[in-house]
């Protein structure tokens, strides 16, 4: 009979901890939260100091029953969920369900899952932390109030199913505001001028114009650039000064949660969600052969850069034995936490340097190895010597013009031997000067001009956010906390407020619209600084410096006023929509902005008598959507009127501006455009079984198909078959590409409905090299694209199509 019970959060920890503690300990897992607020109601008593109504989650009733049964047999109970606010809430909720006067309840905190840490935590248990629990409750109540009070308004004013969130809505606002900056940005022309020069000693070098008459050089057009080139060509180029100095670059601290998410995005192309998932696996334990499951990293939700003295000595010993003496600094390096850091846990680091990445690679998945190596290298580099560079700066005068060239030579690699920080936007400043050799020159030396090179440039708008830069922005502005970033980024995409395109966040029409409504009606909730101040107040509650009830009262007093005002004044997109100054060209009635399943559009207010609609104009120009970059200017081949770019259910297309009199359309492809007229057809050698006329390849709203050339008298159609036989036994049909009603491509048998075989993966006419199945399939996942056998029981797989680096 076990005398002690240990209750953890994740079932993957159970085996590891039980191995460390032995047979006298029973280890059980809650599988996450066990209690929550009701889904069908607010669950907050506003009249009784915001008292929450928690109840056991339906799917966790069996788990709680088993834990209660195990608790009755235990003399001591250790509550050991994760060491953060959410883990503390789980510990309190479990305590409420199993607590009793005779039972000893202890809180055990594991910063990593090594034997020493687990044994120390059990030997030195703590009390439950009420302040941390109160902070979690306050956050949960705030989120519930915002979500459950604002979301119904959006259902009423826009459409059902929309949601608002205290933090997620501010994150979407950042993306929308950036999109507005990009849209309103006016690019300006400027010119860089570079002089190719030679001194009395090699090598030749290039210097850039930096000042004119003592002021920063600003050359705005080709005429001005040509004038500067003429004047420069008439000047003597003289060395005004030479500065040589040694630069030191210190290593970065070990990872915090947000920095790990940023670097994993830059180096590994991991999403924040994937990074946290893989880090959780490394923390909870990886099977290392005879040693069993070992937790390889410390707790992965932290905003601290602190490391323990024990870890400090271990990493210094590792550097001492693995690298030359110059790579180990004389004293340990201690990093300073930011003012807002909680410092509840150490930085993210390997739990022990015994487990070197290369030696245990065979026991990890590729993703686990990549992330573990990143964490290992950052931690080791943090305690290594600085990198040293020799930098030379040469200033040159030519009349009223001043030029400059810089060169940096790496003299000692130091920490950069192990780790370099990733860059967000095409590298960092100064990278082009690394390794540049400059000649020995002295002040007063006259240089020989060999060439002058003008380069036309244009100012660029601020870049859209990537996952890494959005996490950085959230962290710098104090929005949310590191442990919530992955969930925020996932939620705003799941809600379809933003989409990811080429690694950058783009707001959807829905995201822009909802953000506009929320900013107008809930300016405080959508205010970045206010959201950050709330996070600070939550931190102060956790520290025992603020009162939970007062915080909620202060928040709700103003929120209730905004809520009441918004119920009456928030614009509705149902019915008449948002008025515009446009007039319907068909009936003369005003046009308004409305919301449909494909986004915003402009519709006549005289509906249903007039059903005229058009795409939302760009920049309020009062016309149908303008042709975008890369879309050709077309004239309708039927009526000669101009074609305009429009958005349909299956993407953008060109349509005649004479619609509905002329219904000519042209679909947009990667290579440009191609006609999408129903008359476009390619004859085949197949014959219609009903009328005997040839079948032709035609285009329709769901893609290409085989249709009878006798249309409309004969309306026989067939899907276009692939050269692959249907795999169903006894079926003599072929597979063909088809499209569902929602526009998604799938592959089915040409004998449908007699044969109902379908596949979402594209068939390839190649036999499986393992089982000789007649075809393979191309499968797309979040981690990449690969080829596998269509038979589930066959394990053949090839990554030759492409995979995540």
Cα angle: 85, vertex 86, 91; to 5 degrees: 95
Find the mean pLDDT for residues 648-658.
64
The pair of three-digit structure tokens given for residue 100, joined into one six-digit string: 């009793």
- Which of 371, 139, 388 lies closest to 266, judged by CA? 371
Q: What is the mean pLDDT of residues 14-25?
A: 90
More confident residue, 751 or 528: 528
> Each residue of 141-157: pLDDT tens digit?
999 999 999 999 988 88
Q: 12-16, 27-31, 116-120, 425-429: which has the minimum mean pLDDT?
A: 425-429
| CB distance 526 to 519 below 8 Å | yes
State yes or no: pLDDT of 291 exceeds 50: yes
Q: Contact, 290 vs 400, CB < 8 A?
A: no
Residue among 433, 429, 395, 447 at smallest CA distance from 243: 395
DSSP-assigned beta bridge partners for residue 695: 708
96: Cα within 13 Å, side-chain hemisphere: 13
Question: Does residue 786 surpass a pLDDT of 80?
Answer: no
* pLDDT, position 599: 63
Buried residues in 459-469 as b, exposed as e (16+ CB within 10 A): eeeeebbbbbb
Residue with tokens 């029981």: 793
Nearest of 135, 139, 129, 65 to residue 97 by alpha carbon: 65
CA 250 – CA 421 distance, rounded (Å): 12
> Treating both helix axes as pointing N-terminal to C-terminal, what angle do 485-494 and 467-477 enclose, rounded to 10 degrees?
120
Range scoring the smallest mean pLDDT among 48-52, 80-84, 203-207, 695-699: 695-699
Q: What is the reported pLDDT for 368?
A: 96
pLDDT at 582: 78
Cα 126 to Cα 805: distance, rounded to the nearest angstrom:
43
Cross-strand partners of 447: 237
Whether the model pTM is above 0.95 = no
Say if residue 794 is exposed, middle or buried (CB neighbours under 10 Å; 0-12, 13-18, 19+): middle
3-state helix, strand, coil in the chain (%, to 5): 30, 30, 40
Query: Three-state secondary structure along 649-689?
Result: CCEEEEEECCCCCCCCEEEEECCEEEECCCCCEEEEEEECC
Asked if 557 contacts 571 with a C-beta cutoff of 8 angstroms, the reply is no
Is 763 within 8 Å of 777 (Cβ atoms)?
A: yes
Strands 745-749 and 734-739: antiparallel
Rounded CA gap, 478 and 469, in Å? 14
pLDDT of residue 429: 45
**Helix/strand/coil for 146:** helix
712 vs 204, more confident: 204
pLDDT for residue 803 is more than 60: no
Return the active site residues. Answer: 299
Question: At residue 621, does pLDDT exceed 60?
Answer: no
pLDDT at 672: 38
Give per-residue pLDDT as tens, 600-620.
Answer: 678 888 888 888 887 765 433
Q: Count CB-CB contacts under 10 A for residue 540.
A: 15
Q: Per-residue pLDDT tens for 320-340?
A: 999 999 999 999 999 998 776
391, 143, 113: which is closest to 279 by C-alpha?
113
SS3 at position 572: coil
């Amino acid at each position: 009979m076990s005398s002690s019970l240990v209750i953890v959060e994740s079932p993957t920890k159970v085996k590891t901890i039980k191995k460390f503690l032995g047979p006298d300990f029973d280890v059980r897992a809650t599988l996450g939260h066990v209690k929550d607020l009701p889904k069908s109601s607010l669950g907050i008593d506003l009249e009784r100091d915001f008292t929450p109504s928690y109840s056991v989650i339906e799917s966790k009733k069996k788990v709680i029953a088993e834990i209660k049964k195990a608790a009755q047999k235990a003399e001591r109970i250790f509550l050991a969920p994760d060491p953060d606010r959410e883990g503390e809430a789980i510990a309190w909720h479990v305590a409420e369900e199993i607590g009793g006067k005779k039972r000893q309840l202890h809180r055990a905190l594991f910063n990593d899952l090594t034997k020493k840490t687990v044994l120390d935590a059990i030997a030195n248990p703590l009390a439950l932390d009420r302040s941390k629990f109160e902070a979690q409750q306050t956050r949960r109540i705030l989120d519930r109030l915002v979500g459950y009070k604002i979301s119904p308004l959006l259902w009423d004013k826009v459409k059902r199913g929309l949601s608002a969130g205290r933090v997620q809505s501010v994150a979407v606002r950042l993306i929308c505001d950036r999109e507005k900056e990009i849209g309103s940005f006016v690019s300006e022309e400027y010119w860089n001028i570079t002089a190719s020069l030679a001194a009395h000693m090699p090598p030749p070098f290039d210097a850039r114009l930096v000042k004119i008459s003592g002021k920063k050089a600003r050359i705005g057009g080709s005429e001005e650039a040509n004038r500067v080139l003429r004047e420069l060509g008439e000047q003597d180029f003289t060395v005004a000064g030479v500065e040589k100095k040694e630069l030191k670059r210190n290593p970065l601290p070990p990872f915090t949660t947000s920095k790990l998410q940023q670097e994993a995005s830059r180096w590994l192309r991991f999403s924040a969600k994937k990074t946290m998932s893989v880090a959780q696996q490394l923390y909870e334990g990886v099977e290392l052969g005879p040693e069993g499951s070992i937790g390889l990293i410390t707790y992965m939700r932290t905003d601290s850069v602190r490391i323990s003295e024990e870890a400090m000595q271990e990493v210094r010993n590792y550097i001492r034995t693995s690298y030359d003496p110059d790579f180990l600094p004389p004293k340990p390096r201690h990093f300073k936490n930011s003012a807002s850091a909680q410092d509840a846990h150490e930085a993210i680091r390997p739990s022990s340097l015994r487990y070197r990445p290369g030696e245990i690679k065979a026991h990890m998945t590729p993703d686990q190895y990549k992330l573990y190596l990143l964490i290992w290298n950052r931690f080791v580099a943090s305690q290594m010597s600085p990198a040293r560079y020799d930098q030379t700066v040469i200033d040159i005068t030519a009349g009223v013009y001043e030029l400059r060239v810089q060169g940096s030579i790496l003299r000692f690699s130091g920490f950069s031997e192990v780790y370099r920080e990733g860059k967000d936007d095409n590298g960092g400043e100064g990278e082009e000067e690394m390794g540049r050799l400059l000649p020995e020159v002295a002040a007063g030396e006259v240089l020989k001009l060999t060439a002058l090179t003008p380069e036309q440039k244009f100012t660029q708008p601020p870049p859209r956010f990537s996952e890494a830069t959005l996490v950085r922005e959230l962290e710098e502005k104090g929005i949310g906390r590191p442990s919530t970033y992955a969930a925020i980024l996932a939620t705003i995409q799941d809600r379809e407020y933003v989409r990811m395109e080429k690694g950058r966040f783009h707001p959807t029409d829905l995201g822009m619209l909802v953000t506009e409504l929320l900013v107008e009606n809930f300016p405080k909730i959508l205010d970045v600084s206010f959201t950050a101040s709330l996070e600070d107040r939550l931190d102060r509650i956790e520290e025992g410096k603020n009162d939970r009830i007062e915080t909620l009262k202060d928040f709700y007093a103003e929120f209730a006023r905004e809520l009441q005002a918004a119920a009456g004044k928030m614009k509705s997109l149902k019915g008449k929509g948002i008025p515009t100054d446009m007039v319907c060209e068909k009936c003369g009635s005003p046009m308004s902005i409305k919301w449909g399943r494909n986004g915003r559009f402009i519709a006549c207010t005289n509906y249903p008598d007039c059903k005229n609609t058009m795409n939302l104009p760009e920049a309020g120009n009062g016309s149908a959507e303008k042709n975008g970059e890369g879309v050709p200017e077309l004239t309708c081949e039927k009526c000669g009127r101009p074609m305009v770019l429009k958005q349909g259910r299956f993407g953008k297309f060109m349509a005649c501006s004479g619609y509905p009199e002329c219904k000519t359309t042209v679909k947009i492809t990667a290579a440009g455009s191609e006609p999408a007229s129903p008359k476009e057809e390619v004859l085949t050698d197949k014959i219609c079984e009903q009328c005997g006329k040839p079948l032709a390849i035609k285009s329709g709203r769901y893609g290409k198909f085989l249709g009878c050339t006798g249309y409309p008298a004969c309306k026989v159609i067939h899907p276009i078959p692939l050269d692959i036989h249907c795999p169903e036994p006894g079926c003599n049909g072929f597979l063909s590409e088809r499209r569902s009603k929602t526009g998604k491509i799938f592959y089915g048998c040409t004998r449908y409905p007699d044969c109902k075989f379908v596949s979402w993966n594209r068939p390839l006419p190649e036999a499986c090299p393992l089982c000789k199945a007649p075809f393979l399939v191309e499968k797309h996942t979040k981690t990449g694209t690969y080829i596998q056998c269509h038979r589930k029981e066959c394990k053949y797989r090839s990554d030759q199509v492409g995979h995540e680096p």
